[in-house]
Amino acid sequence: MWVIAGAGLRDVWSSSDGRDWVRSDAELPGPPRTASFAASHDDAVWVFGGKTSGAGGTGFWDGIYVLR
Amino acid sequence: MYDPLVVGVWPACRDDQWPIATPVLVHGNRFVMIGDGADPQPIYESLDGARWRATRTDADWGTRYKSADASFAGALWRVGGLEPRGEQRSYFNDVWRSSDGTSWHRVIAVTLWLPRAGAHLISFRDSLWLVGGEPNDGHVWSTRDGVTWVPHRDTGLPSASPQAVVVFNGALWVLGHGAGRRQRMTYGPRQMAPIGDECCLQRRGRLGPVRASGSPEAECG
């Protein structure tokens, strides 16, 4: 089970039991973003898009990433 | 695991709609994303996650935002959401079904659960499950056909909408209530009580370097 990024975050966590979580040393590329969506498919985790916020206002992130 | 690998970019389709803020579903052997906020709304499909094709649908649910989508029983499902009407927002509790993603049928206009947006819809144990959303009634709901919904009360879940609902190891997991407090909780389907929070998070392991590939050309319908 994976938790990837979030508000102001690009971190990647995994857990096999929901209680103990392991943080990866790697981060999701691109700016911190919310509203990304992840899907498990073909033995990989796919991460799509997201919404960024900063001094310039809200923006959309168009990157698609696969973790395998 | 696991190198985050850039595989592509969202297609900037000719309707100028960025396909964002709706879930990307795994439906059969392909990714599917149902458009959000445009009318009529396209559906986006991809076999490889990089090259996307937009197809117009016959769905007449209006300019709908924050619906909950899922792949279940060989069909695509969309429930609820909101539609801005001037200064107001209209919330919905209807259920839509499509066997091909193009032709949509509203199987029920008003369900038992309260109208809501931003809910989570997920397939689990031969049923379709609805969790969270705003506003909501605090219950978890399930259905086998999209028409008859069964409430699951006394789940112990907070009334706030969670950030994620996933199926893992034969259980339904609800994660991330209380985003404003930066508190993360994980609930199992049976005990329905906090079984983990941020105090238990541990930092271990290493990942390889990030590398990027090219950006395959996106396709738009």
CA distance A44 to A13: 15
CA B184 to chain centre: 19
Measured between beta carbons, which residues in chain A are less than 8 angstroms from residue B7?
Answer: 46, 64-66
Distance in angstroms (rounded) separating the CA atoms of residues B19 and B21: 7
User: In B, which residues are within 8 Å of A48 by CB distance?
Assistant: 10, 24, 33, 49
pLDDT on residue B51: 79
Query: What is the predicted pLDDT for the residue at B108?
Result: 98
* Predicted ipTM of the assembly: 0.85
In chain B, which residues have their Cβ closer than 8 Å to the Cβ of A37?
22-24
List pLDDT tens digits, range B30-57.
Answer: 999 887 776 667 788 888 877 778 888 8
Q: Which of A40, A66, A67 to mutate to test the interface with B (most CBs of B within 10 A)?
A: A66
- Kindly report, residue by residue over B174-198, the tens digit of the pLDDT: 887 654 443 344 444 332 223 222 2
- B 68-87 → A contacts, CB under 8 A: none
A24/B2 CB distance under 8 A: yes
Q: Is position B221 within any domain? A: no
Write the burial class of residue B195 (CB in 10 Å: 0-12 exposed, 13-18 middle, 19+ buried): middle
Residue B150 exposure: Cα atoms within 13 Å on the Cβ side:
8
Domain membership of residue B92 (yes or no) is yes
Closest by Cβ to B23, choosing from A25, A29, A37: A37
Q: Residue B9 belongs to what H/E stretch?
A: strand B4-9
In a domain, residue B220? The reply is no
Q: pTM here?
A: 0.80
Q: Tell me, what's the pLDDT at B220?
A: 33
In terms of average pLDDT, the best of A3-12, A26-35, B204-213 is: A3-12
Q: What is the predicted pLDDT for the residue at B123?
A: 95
Percent of chain A at pLDDT above 90? 7
A39-48, A49-58, B103-112 — which is least confidently predicted?
A49-58
User: Hey, are the CB atoms on A35 and B23 less than 8 Å from each other?
Assistant: no
Query: Tens digit of pLDDT for each residue in B59-69?
Result: 888 888 889 99
**Cβ pair B196:A18 closer than 8 A:** yes
In a domain, B193, yes or no: yes
| Cα separation, B10 vs A61, whole angstroms | 9
A65 → closest Cβ in B4, B168, B188: B4
Per-residue pLDDT reduced to its tens digit, B131-171: 999 887 778 999 999 999 999 988 877 777 888 898 988 89
Sheet-wide strand order for B42-46:
B24-27, B30-34, B42-46, B53-56
Task: Look up residue A57 and give its two tokens.
Answer: 């206002």
Q: Which two tokens stand for residue B105?
A: 């049928």
Mean pLDDT of B197-201: 24
Q: In the predicted model, is pLDDT for residue B207 greater than 60?
A: no
Each residue of B165-188: b (16+ CB within 10 Å) or e? Answer: bbbeeeebbbbbbeeeeeebbbbb
Q: Does residue B139 or residue A51 have the better pLDDT?
A: B139
Count the domains in chain B: 1
Strands B149-152 and B140-143: antiparallel
The residue type of B26 is V
Residue of A26, A46, A48 lying closest to B210 (CB–CB): A26
Specify if B171 maps to a domain: yes
Query: Residue B219 falls within a domain, yes or no?
Result: no
- Contact present, B69 and B75 (Cβ < 8 Å): no
Share of chain B above pLDDT 90, in %: 37
Confidence label for A47 from pLDDT (cuts 50, 70 and 90) = confident
* Residue B201 forms part of a structural domain: yes
- Of B220 and A42, the structure prediction assigns the larger pLDDT to A42
Domain range for B68 is 5-212
> In what order do the strands lie in the sheet containing B149-152?
B120-124, B127-131, B140-143, B149-152
The nearest CA of chain A is from the CA of B166 a distance in Å of 8
A41, amino acid identity: H
Q: In the Cβ-directed half-sphere of B122, how many Cα atoms lie within 13 Å?
A: 18
* CB spacing of A68 vs B12 below 8 angstroms: no
Percent of chain B with pLDDT over 70: 68
Question: Residue B217 domain-assigned?
Answer: no
* Among candidate residues B79, B42, B76, B84, the one with its CA nearest the CA of residue B59: B42
Q: Residue B187: phi, psi to the nearest 5?
A: -120, 135
Contact B93, B145 (CB under 8 A): no
Taking the Cβ of residue B24 and every Cβ of chain A, the question of whether any pair is shorter than 8 Å is answered with yes
Matching residue, tokens 């990647």: A12
Tell me, what CATH number does B188's domain have? 2.120.10.80
